[in-house]
Amino acid sequence: MAYPVRKQIYLDHRLEQLLKEKAMRTGHSQAEIIRQALEQSLMPATEAKVPALWLQLKDFFQERARMPVTQKGRRWKREELYEEHRDKPGRNW
């Protein structure tokens, strides 16, 4: 198990106030907010975007699942899809 390492940082008054306000608004500790900010800024861009992309994908699939499905039957046969390839030289079907 990795143990936390204590770090001491200095903030100007504006950042300190913003940090306090966010901590009160979100219910997270100031330390947790700082850790999250560091993780997001130090992580490679692709890794930072992955959770957001998964949420977008989940929303897309939920939206698609709500769409009505119309089954009208198809007017083609599977064999018809391959007819144009059958007569090409080198094909053994």
Residue 5 one-letter amino acid: V
Query: What tens digit of pLDDT does each residue of 60-87 get?
Result: 999 999 988 877 777 777 777 777 677 6
Long-range contacts of 82-85 (CB under 8 A, 24+ apart): none
Tell me which of 3 and 48 has the higher pLDDT: 3
Local structure of residue 21 (DSSP, 8 states): H
Tell me which of 90 and 21 has the higher pLDDT: 21
End-to-end CA distance of the chain: 60
* 75 within a domain of the structure (yes/no): no
- Count the Cβ atoms, other than its own, within 10 Å of residue 58: 10
Number of domains in the chain: 1
Query: What tens digit of pLDDT does each residue of 23-41 get?
Result: 999 999 999 999 989 988 8
* 91 within a domain of the structure (yes/no): no
Residue span of the structural domain in which 14 resides: 8-66
The pLDDT, as a whole number, for residue 46 is: 63
Residue 45 in this model has a pLDDT that exceeds 70:
no
Angle between helices 13-26 and 30-42 (to 10 degrees): 110
* 81 within a domain of the structure (yes/no): no
Are 30 and 20 in contact by the 8 Å Cβ rule? The answer is: yes
